[in-house]
Amino acid sequence: MNILELKYTIPGDDFTRAGEASSAIKRKLKQMGFPPDLIRNVSIATYEGEINSVIHANGGSVSVSIDDEAVTIVIEDTGKGIPDIEKAMQEGFSTAPDSVRSLGFGAGMGLPNMKKYTDEIHVESQVGKGTKVTMKCRMT
Amino acid sequence: MNIKELIEKFASGGSPVEIINEADFSRELSCVYCCDLLSVVMGKAPADCAWVTVMGNLNSVAVSVLADISLIVIAENSPIDQNAIDKAREKEVNIIKTKLPIFDMATKIDFWLKK
Ligand SMILES: Nc1ncnc2c1ncn2[C@@H]1O[C@H](COP(=O)(O)OP(=O)(O)OP(=O)(O)O)[C@@H](O)[C@H]1O
Ligand SMILES: [Mg+2]
C-alpha cells in the first residue's frame, strides 16, 4: 500500500533551481516524521540524481513513493543517455564540462553516492534516448 | 559547542568572522569538514558539521540543506554569490566568512570543538 507519492519536474537550464525538488521531498519526509538518517539518505541520493539530470541531460523528473517497506525514488530524463553504465558508476568517472566543474561539480562521485546511500539502485539508459535511475531506501 | 559559542571564540581570539547569514546559531556542531568538490562533500561530510570551503555558490547552499550541514564557513575571503545568500535566507542555512585559509580555519575550529 502506498502512503504517499510525490512527483516533481526538474528544469533543465536552471541552475538556480537545481536542488528544489530534493529539498521539497526532504521537507515532506520531515513533516511526516521519518527518522533523520532515512531522510538524509533519501535527500543525498535524490539531489545527486536531480543534479545529474540538470548537468548531463537538460532536466527530467523525479518521483518518490513511500510505502511501509521503503522509499522508492525514480529519476528519469530524455537526455543523451549513458554509453557505459558500469564505467559511469565508478568513483571519479566524469564527463562534466569545465563550466560546471568550476562550480564544484565533476568529481565523479554522484552515482557512487547514490549507490552508497540507498539499499538498491538500478540504472537503465539508452544513448540518445535517456536515463532512468530507480533507488530504494528501506525503512529498517 | 554551538555556532554562537564558536563565533565568540573567534571574536575574542582576535580573528573575528563575518556573519553572512544567521539562521539558527544555537545549532550544535559535530566536527569540522573541508572539501570543495560538492559530491565529495555530499558523500563524506558528517551530519551537523562545520564545512569549510571556498565555494560560495547556490549549490553549496543546496548541499548543506540536503546533507544536514550545520554551518558553511567560507574561507580565504572567497566571494559569495548574492543568489546564494538569498537562498541561504530562504532555506535557513548558516553562513560565516573568514579571511583565513581553509587549513588554518579548520584547525582553529577543530581546536575549539575539541576543547
Ligand atoms: N542523467 C544522465 N544522463 C547522461 N549521462 C549521465 C547522467 N547521469 C550521469 N551521467 C554520466 O555519468 C557520469 C558520472 O556521473 P556522476 O554523477 O557519478 O559524476 P558527475 O556528475 O560527472 O560528477 P559529480 O556528481 O561528482 O559532480 C557523468 O559524468 C555522465 O557522463
Ligand atoms: Mg553527478
Q: Which domain holds residue A47?
A: 2-138
Grid coordinates of B104: 588554518
Closest ligand, as measured to the CA of B63: 1
Q: Which domain holds residue B81?
A: 3-114
Average pLDDT over residues A49-67: 96
CATH code for position A33: 3.30.565.10
Nearest CA in chain B to A26: B66
Count of CA atoms in the C-beta half-sphere (13 A) of A68: 1
As a whole number of angstroms, the distance between CA B62 and CA B89 comes to 12
Q: Which of residues 81-100 of B touch A (CB under 8 A)?
A: 83, 87, 91
CATH code for position B35: 3.40.1390.20
As a whole number of angstroms, the distance between CA A15 and CA A51 comes to 9
Grid coordinates of B3: 555556532
Listed residues: CB within 5 A of ion ligand 2: A 52, 110
As a whole number of angstroms, the distance between CA A100 and CA A106 comes to 7
ipTM (interface predicted TM): 0.91
As a whole number of angstroms, the distance between CA B64 and CA B38 comes to 10
Contacts of B111 (CB under 8 A, 6+ apart): none
* Total domains present in chain B: 1
Contact A26/B66, CB-based, under 8 Å? Answer: yes
- The model's confidence at residue A14, banded by pLDDT at 50, 70 and 90, is confident
115 residues of chain B, pLDDT tens digit each: 999 999 999 999 999 999 999 999 999 999 999 999 999 999 999 999 999 999 999 999 999 999 999 999 999 999 999 999 999 999 999 999 999 999 999 999 999 999 8
Find out whether the beta carbon of A41 lies less than 6 Å from any atom of ligand 1. no
Q: Is the dihedral of CA B46, A76, B93, B60 positive or negative?
A: positive
> Which residues of chain A form beta strands (DSSP E)?
2-10, 60-67, 70-77, 120-126, 130-138
Nearest Cα residue to atom 19 of ligand 1: A108
Task: Determine the pLDDT at residue A1.
Answer: 65
Cβ(A68)–Cβ(A1) below 8 Å: yes
Asked if pLDDT for residue A13 goes beyond 80, the answer is no
Task: State the average pLDDT for chain A.
Answer: 95
From chain A, which residues contact B within 8 Å (Cβ)?
15-16, 18-19, 22-23, 26, 36, 40, 43-44, 46-48, 51, 103-110, 112-113, 116-117
> What Rg value do the Cα atoms of chain B yield, rounded?
12
Asked if pLDDT for residue A3 goes beyond 90, the answer is no
CA of A28 to the centre of ligand 2 (A): 24
CB contacts, 8 Å: A54 with chain B: none
Cβ(A64)–Cβ(A6) below 8 Å: yes
